[in-house]
Each structure stands twice: as C-alpha cells, then as structure tokens.
Amino acid sequence: MTSQVSTASQATSKNWLKWANLAFMLYMLLVAVAMVGTGFKWATGDHAKTLFDFASHPVAALMIGIAATALIQSSSTVTSIIVGLVAGGLPIETAIPMVMGANIGTTVTNTLVSLGHARCKEEFRRAFTCATVHDFFNLFAVAIFLPLEMAFGLLNKISAWLVSPLTSASDLSIKSMNFIKPLTKPVVNAVKGPLEMLPNNTGGILMIALGIITIIAAITIMGKLMKKLMVGRAREILKSAIGRGPLHGILSGSVVTVLVQSSSTTTSLMVPLVGTGVLKVRDVYPFTLGANIGTCITALLAATAVTGEFAVFALQIALVHLSFNILATALIFGLPFLRELPLKAAEWLGQLAERSQFAVISYMVVVFLILPGVVLFLTN
C-alpha cells in the first residue's frame, strides 16, 4: 500500500515537473520571438522592405513559406518566426503568402508517415490517400485565397478589422499589452549586450539566428511535453470524434491539435488508422481541417511577446493565419462541389502511388523542392 502511494506521489511530482517545463518553454518561445523582432530591426535598420524585395511577389513569398516549413517540419515554428519578422518590420503583405505556404509545407510529414505502409499496396494506397487529402485541401485553399489576396487584400483587410479595436479604443490599445515585455526584455537585453560589440550589423543577424534556433527548440520540446501530458485526453477526444458528424470532427481536430501543439502530429495519427482500414479517409477529412485551425494557437501566443510600433502587425499576421484556415474550411468544406475536390484528387494520387512508388517520390520532390526552388529562381 505504501509503495502504491509512493508511486502515485512520484507520478504526480513528475507531472508537475512537466507542467513547469512546459511553462518555461512557453516563456522561451515568447523570448525567442522578441529576439527575432529585435534582431531584425537591428540588422535591417530602415531597410526591412529593401531586404525582402526578392520576396515582394506573393508567389515567391508563398514558395518561401512552403520550402521553410517542409525543411523545418512545423508550420507552428515557421509562423512564429514570421510573427517575429513582422515585429521587426517585415511588410504584412509579404508575410501573408508566407503563412499560406506554411500550411502546404507542413503536410510533407503525413506523406512521410504513409511510406511506412509501402510494403502492402492496398494499405499504402489508403494511407497515401489519407496523407495527401490534407495536401490537396491546403493547395486548393491557396489556389482560391492567394488570387483574392493579390486582387483585393482580403485577409489583410479582415485581420486589420479584427485588430482595429486594439488600435482605435484607448482602453484596448496594443501599447497597454505590455505585461509580457517586462518578462522578456531582461533576457533579450542580456543576449543583445555582448552582441553589440560585434562590427556592423553582425549582432542583429546572430540575434535572429539565436531566436530562430530557440523557437525551433521551444516548440519541439513543448510538443513532446504536451504529447506526454495530453496523449490520453487527445486519444479520448479522437475516439469520440470519428463518426459524430463533420462539425464535431472539425472541433475535435482543433482541440487535439491545441493539446499536442502540432497539426503534423494530429494528422499523422490518422494515416496508420486509415492505412490499416480502421477508418475511412472521408471520416478523418473534417478532423484534418480542424488540425489546420488548432495549429494557429502557437502564432497567437507568439504575437503576445511583441510590443512597440509593429506589435499590432504581429498580432495581425497571427490572425491572418487563423482567418485563412477558418475561411478555407467554411468555403471548401461548406460547399458540396468544392468539398469533394481534395478527396477525389487524393484518391487519384493514391491509385497512382499503388501502381508505382516512383509517383510518390516525384510528387514530394516536385511539390516541396523543385517547384519552390524554380519559382524563387525565376522571380529573383
């Protein structure tokens, strides 16, 4: 009996330690975003727009978002870095297509997971179809909303309207949200101090690099801790979500992604379940869309670290990510003739993959490497 009490006590203390580590990692994420913003201002001075002239074309910015996320394997990380860059002066018009690209880049994880079923053709077809339905949904979402953004500035206007209370109402001024700055400023200044001895703007560049490395580390560790703390709850939500209707699936996908802090993890959980025939692609489709929405929480948290003249733009780009995913879900999944397109495209590609694994390799190389590289080269 005593040993059982002792074991329970140890488990409780371990959980508290994990929660404390999670809180510390969240703090480090906020510090890292502030470092990226400070370093970007320092390195570029008044030349931020000039520095990103090569990405001023929306399609080029989109490709940067795709390539960066495919390499880092986390849309949360890339959008948090973009929030930091906007805080340092990156134009919001350039950042919006980058955020869209992050949605596409993160889907490479699912495709890699599906390769685990490559030995059995039937399983592989189902798994690959499940993996790529997320890809195609995000590709169709960008195909619809990027032209609208280029023509009318749709997401820019919606997000500006959402943050307008913070800039128009005196009691809700963004400048009043300085409760984060006193917590992060001492660490940022401590990092900046030694770097100021370096020549030219080298210190600013190093500060950006340190900030990005810290963001990647913080989000990776946060994801691992959240999985350990929440995997039981996430699994329960997962079980109750399937077969309860599309709205319930979307909501559950959002909640599970917030719990595990990774849309890649949420959607990758579905791939083996579909591959082994436990679930159907149509059943997990809404759950996947919810994961797109749930992953936006990280960028919103990152935006709270930003103060100063660009703070409102940092919050705005985080809201662009959220607005884009909600609007894409409402439009594509809400309209029956659009709803079927990602499913049909994924099924077609799954059939190709079943016949030849070369189709899988070609698809991944073209979408995530060659296409972004060629577009960036041509636009540059």
Residue 357, φ and ψ in degrees, nearest 5: -70, -15
pLDDT of residue 181: 64
136-153 per-residue burial string, b: 16 or more CB within 10 A, e: under 16? bbbbbbbeebbeebeeee
Mean pLDDT computed over 146-175 = 77
pLDDT value at residue 241? 63
Handedness of CA 300, 306, 312, 316 (dihedral sign): negative
Q: And the tokens for 14?
A: 């371990």
- More confident call, 268 vs 284: 284
Write out the two tokens for 292: 């797109």
**Nearest to 364, CA basis, from 115, 65, 59, 124:** 115
Measure Cα distances from 108 to 162, 265, 297, 316 in Å: 31, 12, 21, 27
What are the boundaries of each domain within the chain? 51-169+221-379
**pLDDT of amino acid 136:** 92
Residue 170 confidence (pLDDT):
40
Q: Which pLDDT tens digit goes with each residue over 165-212?
A: 766 544 333 444 445 567 777 888 888 888 888 877 788 888 888 888
By the 8 A CB rule, do 134 and 267 touch?
A: yes
Q: Which of the pair, 24 or 9, is modelled with greater confidence? A: 24
**Sole residue written with tokens 């985080």:** 318
- Give the per-residue pLDDT at 195: 82
Global pTM value = 0.76
